[in-house]
């Protein structure tokens, strides 16, 4: 059974975007970008909310190959599941999840052995409240935004376990927490 993992880059003070909603965190470069390329290639797929899906859909477009061919290939090959009440269709290798979100996510976790990633704070909050997220991966960037859109908007389960800490390129700390056993 696959694990559902919420992972987002965030500032030291816990924000994924500034007060205007702009993503102003440093862009992954070189070795860090390669790390994310490998991660994208290793997961079963990603679950996106509408906003994050629209941001990530850049990688389906014509300029993606020039930006990073390896990530483009990994993104395009990876299944995407989109949770939205406002869009009616999605692009290549993507499916809209509808109906009972809990049942849909449990079905996906049962179908795959690999991790399934969740991207987007609002979607993660809803999945956290449903008790569906197994691990939280905090990619902490060495910057302070001083306010903005927080990485977490829902109460996390009590008794979270620290699963590990890794130093990634660009001075990024990856801190992993899991649900209590």
Beta carbons of 54 and 86 less than 8 angstroms apart: no
The string of pLDDT tens digits covering residues 118-133 is 999 999 999 999 999 9
CATH code of the region 4-178: 3.40.430.10
Model confidence at 82: pLDDT above 80: yes
**CA separation for the pair 134, 136 (Å, rounded):** 7
Model confidence at 57: pLDDT above 80: yes
Single out the residue of 5, 17, 42 nearest to residue 127, CA to CA.
5
pLDDT at position 67 is: 80
Model confidence at 140: pLDDT above 80: yes
The string of pLDDT tens digits covering residues 31-46 is 999 999 999 999 999 9
Model confidence at 64: pLDDT above 90: no
Model confidence at 181: pLDDT above 80: no
User: Going by C-beta distance under 8 Å and a sequence separation of 6 or more, which residues neighbour residue 66?
Assistant: none
* Average predicted confidence (pLDDT) for the chain: 93
Residue-range domain boundaries for the chain: 4-178
pLDDT at position 180 is: 81
pLDDT at position 70 is: 87
Single pTM value for the model: 0.93
């Amino acid at each position: 059974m696959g694990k559902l993992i919420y992972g987002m880059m965030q500032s030291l003070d816990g924000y994924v975007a500034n007060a205007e909603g702009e993503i102003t965190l440093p862009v992954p470069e070189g070795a860090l970008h390669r790390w994310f390329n490998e991660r994208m290639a290793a997961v079963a797929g990603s679950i996106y909310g509408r906003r994050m899906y629209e941001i990530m859909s850049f990688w389906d477009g014509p300029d993606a190959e020039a930006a990073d061919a390896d990530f483009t290939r990994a993104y395009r090959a990876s299944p995407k599941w989109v949770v939205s009440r406002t869009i009616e269709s999605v692009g290549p290798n993507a499916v809209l999840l509808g109906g009972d979100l809990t049942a849909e996510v449990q079905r996906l976790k049962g179908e795959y052995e690999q991790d399934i990633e969740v991207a987007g704070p609002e979607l993660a909050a809803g999945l956290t409240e449903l008790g569906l997220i197994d691990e939280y991966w905090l990619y902490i960037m060495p910057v302070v935004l001083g306010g903005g859109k927080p990485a977490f908007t829902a109460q996390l389960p009590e008794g979270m376990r620290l699963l590990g800490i890794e130093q990634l390129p660009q001075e990024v700390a990856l801190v992993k927490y899991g649900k209590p056993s």
